[in-house]
Structures are given as C-alpha cells and as structure tokens.
Amino acid sequence: MSQNKKIALISVSDKTGLVELANELAHLGFEILSTGGTAKSLRQAEITCTEVKEFTGFPEILEGRVKTLHPKIFGGILYSRNNPAHTGDMDRLDLPPIDCVIVNLYPFEKIHLENKIPKSEMLEFIDIGGVSLLRAAAKNFQDVIVICDPEDYVRIQEELKQNGSISLKTRKELASKAFAHTAHYDSMIAKYFREVSTSDFKTNISSARSEERTVANVFPEELSIGLRKVSDLRYGENPQQKASLYQESGSREWGVVHAEILQGKELSFNNYLDLDNAWQIVNSLSLGHSMKNGSPLSLSGSEVACVIIKHTNPCGVAIGKSPAESFQTAFDADSLSAFGGVIGFSKAVDEETASLITKTFFECLIAPDYTPGALEIFKKKPNLRVLRQKTTLTLPYEFDIKKISGGFLIQEMDSLSEVANQKESYKIVSKRAPTPEEIYSLDFAWKVCKHVKSNAVLLARGAATLGVGTGQMSRIDSLKIAVHKAGLEAEKAFHGPEARFSSRNPILPLVMASDGFFPFRDCVDESAKVGVSAIIQPGGSIRDQESIDAANENNIAMVLTGVRHFRH
C-alpha cells in the first residue's frame, strides 16, 4: 500500500451501508484494508481493497481466531503523530499509519438469543480482534477515526466531503461510542456466562449438591450490565425530569420492555412502572402452588386473572371464569381508585371485556392477546395505550436492581412460586385448621400481597381482593386502610360467626394476608371484628405467640409461611 495515501481498515459483520461508505472513502483518497468476508463483499462491488493477510504478510490462523492481531496493524492504529519516539519507530520499521477503523463485532447477542447452536460453539462468536481494533482506534482518537455503528456512516461521509477531515469534537464522540460499544459487548458475554452458570446450578441441584448457592457465587465482585436504548420518553416521574427507556441486552424478549404497543399515546415513565407490576401480578397468579394440607391455586383453562394498578399498587385483583368477570370483580373492589389506572390480564381480552373497560377512563392495558373485535372497540379510545406481551414467565437469572445515591442495590428476584412450592415452609399454628375454601383464598391473597408496597395488609374473599392497605409506617394502619377500602367498618359490631360471611359474598370466607409478621396482636384482634376467619403471614416476631393466642380466641385459622415478601 502507498505510504502517501490514507488507510481505512474495514472489518464488519453487518454489511449494511458498507459498499456506499467504501466507495466514498475511495473517492476521498483512502486505500481500503479489509478482512476476508468484508474484502469479498467489496470486490463483488468492484471496490479495490487489500486483505489484511497481504498487508501483514502473515496468514489468518487458528480457524480465523487470529486475523488482525499483528504489530503492523496495531502499530499503524496506535501511532501518535505528534510523538517523535512513535515516528522513529514507524520510520525504522517502515510501518504505514492507519487513519480510519470501521469495525462492527460478531453478533454474539443475536446468535445467543436465537438459541440454534450448542453452548460449546458460542465461544467462537466472541469477538477478540474487533474489540481490540475499536479500543485501539478510540484510544488514539486524535489521529484515527473510529466507527462502530452503521448509523454513523452517512454523517461521517458528509463531514468528510464538506471539510476533508473529521473534527476533533466528532472524533471524541465516536471514540466515546466505541468504548461504550465494547463495554456493552463484554457485558452481554458476562451475562451469558452468568446465565449458563445459573442453568448449570439448577440442573445439578436435584442431584448430589455439587455446589452451595451463596451470595458470593451469585453476585460477582465486578458486575457489568448492558443496556440498549429503546426510546426517549416525554419525561420522567415528573415533567421536569428527562427520561429514556432502556432494555437489558442479552435478555429474552420477556416483560414490559418487549411488549408490543398496539395503540395509544406515547407511554410515560410512570406508565411503564405500573404496567410492570400489572404484568408481574397476573403472571404470579398464573403459577399454581400448593399449601400444606391444602389444594393448589392455579388457573384452569377457562379462568382469567385481572389486576388494576394505581401508582404501582393493586387496587383490585380477581380471578374469574372469563375476562369480563375477572375485570368487573377487580373493578368493583375499589372502583374509585381504579379510575385512571392500568389493567393487566393473564389471558386474551374479548369484546365483552373491552366494552366494560371503555366505560371508564384507564391509562393502559396489557394482556397476552386481544380478539379483533376487542381491538376495534379500543380504537374508540385512541389515547388508551394497549400492549400485547405473549410471554408470561420470569427468568431465573434476572436481577432486581434499585438505584441509590452513589450506587446500586442488587438482589435476586423475589420468586414467590419457588419458595411457595416448598410445602414444609408452611405451618398451621392455630387450633383450627383452615378450610379448603380458606386455603384457596389465603393462597390468592398471599400471592397478591407480595406485590403491594410494605407495610402491606390485604383482605380477600375467594379469588378477589376486597381491600388493600399499602405502604404505611405501621401495620395496623395498613389494616385500617384495607378495612376502609373493603367497606367493612359497619360490621365491627358483629363478633359472631355471622360476621365472617356478611360482606358482598355471604358464601365465601373473609381472609387476610400480611407481607410481614405482626409485631403485636392488635392486627389479629381488629381483623376479627370485621369478620376475618383465616390469616396468612410470615411469622418470626418475638410476640408470635400473642398473635396465635388472639387467633385462637377468635376462632381464626392462622398459617405461617416462614418467608416474608417486603416490597420497598
């Protein structure tokens, strides 16, 4: 290659815009240096280029693992033009400078998510040379143009045509983007290895315990999380806050981030928070689990779960025989709070349900699917955001991440289904065991209570919430709110068995769930006054016996789960 001409090294997996860019560079006086696949594409387009192996005089080896890793390549990229020592080395070794590096990496994330090749072959899609080229060019951005994104090709071509060079400001921006790109790429690979390790652990756990799962081996000393922007949002929690939505790279297409938006206004920051809890709750109710000495709560083929969320808390949750029944029951639980809320369904929404929904103002709706007729009805409410997310699962290797000033708190997801399947963790501590009907309701209430901000106390009949007490500093205040929401104050005069069946549905028992233990017996005593016949709570207080005594005095069945579910 000529010592007088500028050299552009191009090695890309994504060939989008390649020919147009290379043509423009050639017209601007660049000689093209490229690797095998890229060189083939350029030659097919009749663009002159020199292959790296011809330039270095060294062949590709190890089945292509080593192509560009050569001093002649990296010397040309890292050469600082204003450093006399560097110039001396370049002259002595007769090395030409490389002025532009255009690289995008092996599509590791895409191939991993397609899940079509064995895990053992995934290692071959970890890019080594490409990452090294980008980092080297970005480090020497004052002298070298580095491009890692095809979206930047047109911008760079225009600046070169207008000015004959690339400004220092643009070079800095491109270098920053290259370092972010390689860091993101490595984070996806690290996530892949964490995922594989989690999968291996779960495979081995049923056999001889080959490894104890500890905090140390779940959370590495250094953790990188790759995020890719999905969209900018109108604003954050409040109008004065700017915000954007990102998705976690390398993850399966699950959750609200990957939901398909079918209609409606642009989603806000707060919409996404509410939608996420709606989606989590209906999924939780779709997962059956058994309680000791009882029947499992799991949705049958015809049953549907519905939740209405307001400010990230459920104001009404129900399971019904149809979407319409479950929605109406959830709505009736707290119709005042439901106004302007966010709705989630565990199954497809039909026309009857859509007609009910459109009678009231709601912000958003998320469900696995919709009938064509339902979507037509929703079109009459063009501002209603309608989302479809067909995937209903929680991935075991996902982390729950919360931002605090100066850092992050990271924990495992609070998986109710896994804990609840351990029947031995449940303990009936009252003299009276819960009836099958009470067990069903307790199971439902416990699942929903997990998703309520602490301190959380929830009242339910059958598979429907009556009152939800959220986020109070004392548990008794949460109970008072739940009682008020349920409209049960008038029943305080009743202390006999008739009180237990006197609200809304006279057949089903009234039950209570608490996400944390009772520090005093007052919650049990007050719940008895409004007709509660069974209670589920974690236990663990030094005054547990006082609460158990209160339950026995009021003929209330009490179940301790041994596991709490705070949500801050």
| Residue 107 belongs to some domain of the structure | yes
Rounded to an integer, the average pLDDT of 338-360 is: 96
Q: What pLDDT is attached to residue 223? A: 79
- Cβ atoms < 10 Å from Cβ of 225: 17
368 and 463 fall within a common domain = no
- Contacts of 321 by beta carbon, 8 Å cutoff, 6+ apart: 302, 303, 304
Q: What pLDDT is attached to residue 483? A: 93
Q: Quick one: residue 30, left, alpha or beta (phi over 0 = left, psi -120 to 50 = alpha)?
A: beta
Of 169, 190, 211, the domain-final residue: 190
Lowest mean pLDDT among 141-145, 222-226, 303-307: 222-226
Q: What percent of the chain has pLDDT over 90?
A: 47
For the sheet containing 50-51, what is the strand order? 50-51, 30-34, 6-12, 100-104, 145-147
pLDDT, tens digit (0-9, with 9 covering 90-100), for 359-370: 999 999 999 999
350 and 283 fall within a common domain = yes
pLDDT at 285 over 90: no
Q: What pLDDT is attached to residue 492? A: 47
Model confidence at 506, pLDDT cuts 50, 70, 90, reads: low
Alpha helices in 383-468 (DSSP H): 416-420, 436-449
Q: Whose structure tokens read 């207008």?
A: 162
| Residue 197 belongs to some domain of the structure | no
172 and 109 fall within a common domain = yes
- Which residue, among 148, 226, 229, has the nearest Cα to 189 in the 3D structure? 226
Using only C-alpha atoms, the chain has a radius of gyration, in whole angstroms, of 31
152 and 68 fall within a common domain = yes
Model confidence at 291, pLDDT cuts 50, 70, 90, reads: very low
| Residue 210 belongs to some domain of the structure | no
- Which residue, among 316, 213, 312, 223, has the nearest Cα to 271 in the 3D structure? 312
Rounded to an integer, the average pLDDT of 424-443 is: 89
Q: What pLDDT is attached to residue 197? A: 63
Model confidence at 225, pLDDT cuts 50, 70, 90, reads: confident
- Cβ atoms < 10 Å from Cβ of 368: 18
- Which residue, among 476, 546, 554, has the nearest Cα to 514 in the 3D structure? 476
Side chain identity at 216, as an amino acid letter?
A
Rounded to an integer, the average pLDDT of 173-202 is: 79
Model confidence at 22, pLDDT cuts 50, 70, 90, reads: confident
Model confidence at 198, pLDDT cuts 50, 70, 90, reads: low
Q: 364 with 264: CB under 8 angstroms?
A: yes
| Residue 307 belongs to some domain of the structure | yes
| Residue 1 belongs to some domain of the structure | no
pLDDT at 490 over 50: no
427 and 370 fall within a common domain = no
Helix or strand run (H / E) with residue 366: strand 364-367
236 and 154 fall within a common domain = no
Q: What pLDDT is attached to residue 394? A: 59
- Contacts of 307 by beta carbon, 8 Å cutoff, 6+ apart: 278, 281, 282, 314, 316, 317, 330, 343, 344, 448
247 and 355 fall within a common domain = yes
β-strands 407-412, 399-404 pairing: antiparallel
305 and 349 fall within a common domain = yes
| Residue 359 belongs to some domain of the structure | yes
How far apart are alpha carbons 557 and 430 in whole angstroms? 5
Of 190, 218, 251, the domain-final residue: 190
How far apart are alpha carbons 479 and 141 in whole angstroms? 62
| Residue 413 belongs to some domain of the structure | no
What range does the domain containing 460 cover? 418-560
Dihedrals phi, psi of 324, to nearest 5 degrees: -65, -45
15 and 133 fall within a common domain = yes
Rounded to an integer, the average pLDDT of 193-213 is: 54
Between 429 and 399, the more confident residue is: 429
Check residue 105 and report its DSSP letter: -
Residues acting as catalytic residues: 139, 311
**Domain CATH number, residue 450:** 3.40.140.20
Check residue 493 and report its DSSP letter: G
368 and 424 fall within a common domain = no
**Domain CATH number, residue 84:** 3.40.50.1380
Model confidence at 496, pLDDT cuts 50, 70, 90, reads: very low
pLDDT, tens digit (0-9, with 9 covering 90-100), for 99-114: 999 998 878 777 777 7
Of 339, 368, 388, the domain-final residue: 388
Task: List residues bridging with 399 in a β-sheet.
Answer: 412
The string of DSSP letters for 239-279 reads TTS-EEEEEETT--S-SGGG-EEEESSPPPHHHHHHHHHHH
Dihedrals phi, psi of 288, to nearest 5 degrees: -75, 145
Three-class DSSP category at 384: coil
β-strands 385-388, 364-367 pairing: parallel
Q: Whose structure tokens read 């708190």?
A: 409
Q: What is the largest CA-CA distance in the chain?
A: 100
Rounded to an integer, the average pLDDT of 199-211 is: 46
15 and 123 fall within a common domain = yes
User: How many domains would you assign to the chain?
Assistant: 3
Side chain identity at 414, as an amino acid letter?
D
Q: What pLDDT is attached to residue 1? A: 58
Instruction: Look up the pTM and report it.
Output: 0.78
pLDDT, tens digit (0-9, with 9 covering 90-100), for 46-94: 888 888 888 888 888 887 788 888 888 899 999 888 889 988 888 888 8
Q: What pLDDT is attached to residue 420? A: 43
pLDDT at 142 over 80: yes
Lowest mean pLDDT among 194-208, 276-290, 449-463: 194-208
Rounded to an integer, the average pLDDT of 164-192 is: 88
Token couple for 528: 């008895």
| Residue 348 belongs to some domain of the structure | yes
349 and 490 fall within a common domain = no
